Amino acid sequence: MTDIKEVWIFNGANEKFPSAVFASKEDALGWIENHQLTGVLIKYPLGISVYDWVIESGNFKIKSDRDSTPELIGKFSSAAQEHMHFEDGKLD
């Protein structure tokens, strides 16, 4: 069995919750194209929060107490994550 270090998560347009999780980008792209979906595909590190990942990678620095509140950490996402936007199954 392969040691998965990242996953690809698809969120449909204007949806709160993801509709799919893939171990490979290729599988995700095929599924999106096949179903002509609109939304965002984002790569997530596995086993670490996005918040901790961006701090470790140097893409985010805590500058104030506000930058480490539970509210911020619980909803944190980063433009540093590889991501793609789709419209009707096509890369936008």
The 10s digit of each residue's pLDDT in 23-82 is 999 999 999 999 999 999 999 999 999 999 999 999 999 999 999 999 999 999 999 999
Q: Which helix (H) or strand (E) holds 1?
A: none
Q: How many CB atoms lie within 10 A of CB 38?
A: 16
pTM score, whole prediction: 0.88
Residue 27: inside a domain: yes
Instruction: Tell me if residue 68 falls in helix, strand or coil.
Output: helix
Per the structure, the count of domains in the chain is 1
User: Looking at the predicted structure, is the pLDDT value of residue 92 above 60?
Assistant: yes
Residue 17: inside a domain: yes
Residue 65: inside a domain: yes
Whole-number pLDDT of residue 56:
95
What are phi and psi for residue 87, nearest 5 degrees?
-130, 115
Whole-number pLDDT of residue 3:
76
- The range of the structural domain enclosing residue 81 comes to 6-91
Residue 56: inside a domain: yes
d(CA 68, CA 14): 27
